[in-house]
Amino acid sequence: MTRPVAQPFTEFRARDRVRALLDPGTFREILDPFARVESPHLALQGIVPQGDDGAVIGRGTIDGVSAVVVALDGAFQGGGIGEVSGAKLASSLEQAVNDNRNGTPTRAVILLETGGIRLQEANLGLLAISEIHSAIVELRSFGPVVGVVVGTVGCFGGMGIAAGLTSHLIMTRGGRLSLNGPEVIETEAGIEELDSSDRAGIWAMIGGAQRVAIGQAETLVDDDADAVAAAVRDVYRTAPATAVPARSTRIAAGRRLLAAVDPTGRPTPTDIRNLSTGGSL
């Protein structure tokens, strides 16, 4: 008899996830649910808004260093980015840029549990996501920006790009990372292109184990609250910011991979692993 872990990180909702990554007792929330800054667009479309608009902004410390940890709540509208949640993320990251500039080293961790844009407020969400992208790129020059994708929603759409821009991405086997989600691809391109009910097949393509194996994420971690928190601290303890160029700056490697893929065939997850580690099909 083997018992599973006592505290799966995926069992925590956004607020508890943020708290778990900050030093004990240091969590302080910016614009908590009682600030009642919620989406003005959802009620008009018959959707009950949520007091934090599905985004939790936490300040505190990580190993004693000032930190901002932001999280999207996958249980609210699939973690979709709307005007308010997007603005909360973008401005808190921009504030971290300012803090760093003004001499207060500030770490930034982004917990990504999101389908991307919230369709009910898509244009405003898109604008916010571009601001989030800019802030992540700017923050990278001060130190590692850590992304965490554990599930159960995964990370898709414009926020999949945000994950790609981080300097260090931590995933679990259950986490998924992609641009279009499997259901969207099946709807748009047909079940011959992709069967979204083949869960094992989906995870083999875009799950955490595969993303780490092909170098699109750095750390594979168990779905365990203590393990995820340790993995985040380890990034700052062991990896100076300048050690490895960020994934999104490795243009040549990306071009080589693209050139090696034959889009007329149907490469398997194993093929992609071989290609990305320097082999060929």
Partner 1 sequence: MNSTNDMRWQMRRARKLERLASVGSLANGRVVETGNLVAFLEAVLRPGDTVALEGNNQKQADFLSRGLAEVDPGRINDLHMLISSISRPEHLDLFEKGIASLVDFSYAGAQSTRVATLLADGTMKVGAIHTYLELYARLFVDLIPDIALVAADKADRNGNLYTGPNTEDTPTIVEAAAFRSGIVIAQVNELVDGVDDLPRVDIPGSWVDFVIPADRPFQIEPLFTRDPRKITDVHVLLAMLSIRGIYERHQVTTLNHGIGFDTAAIELLLPTYGEKLGLRGKIARNWALNPHPTLIPAIESGWVDSITSFGGEVGMERYTAARSDIFATGHDGSLRSNRMISQVAGLYATDMFIGSTLQLDPLANSSTVTRGRLSGFGGAPNLGSDPHGRRHSSPAWLSLSEGEGQLGVKRGQKLVVQIAETYGAGATPRFVEHLDAVEVGTAAGMPIAPVMIYGDDVTHVVSEEGVAYLYKARDLEERRQAVTALAGAGPVGSESTPEQRAQLRRDGILALPEDLGVRRSDASRSLLAAKSIEDLVTWSGGLYDPPAKFRSW
Q: In the set 3, 102, 238, 259, which binds partner 1 (CB under 8 A)? A: 3
Is residue 238 a contact point for partner 1 (CB under 8 A)?
no
Q: In the set 101, 199, 237, 256, which binds partner 1 (CB under 8 A)? A: 199
- Cα dihedral angle (254, 249, 177, 240), rounded to 10 degrees? 130
Residue tagged 């365990």 (tokens): 224
Q: In the set 82, 86, 174, 181, which binds partner 1 (CB under 8 A)? A: 174
β-sheet with 219-220: strand ranges across: 28-30, 55-62, 65-72, 107-111, 145-149, 168-171, 219-220
Is residue 11 a contact point for partner 1 (CB under 8 A)?
yes
Is residue 187 a contact point for partner 1 (CB under 8 A)?
no
Q: By the 8 A CB rule, do 169 and 219 touch?
A: yes
Is residue 173 a contact point for partner 1 (CB under 8 A)?
yes
Task: Name 65's Cβ contacts closer than 8 Å, sequence gap at least 6.
Answer: 105, 106, 107, 236
Q: Which residue stretch of 2-10, 124-132, 249-257, 266-274 sits at the interface with partner 1 (rule: CB under 8 A)? A: 2-10
Is residue 269 a contact point for partner 1 (CB under 8 A)?
no
Is residue 197 a contact point for partner 1 (CB under 8 A)?
yes
Is residue 79 a contact point for partner 1 (CB under 8 A)?
no
Is residue 4 a contact point for partner 1 (CB under 8 A)?
yes
Burial label for 269, CB within 10 Å (0-12, 13-18, 19+), is: middle
Find the angle CA(149)-CA(104)-CA(23) to the nearest 5 degrees.
50
Is residue 198 a contact point for partner 1 (CB under 8 A)?
yes
In the complex, the residues that contact partner 1 under the rule CB under 8 A are 1-4, 8, 10-11, 151-152, 173-174, 197-201, 203, 207-209, 223
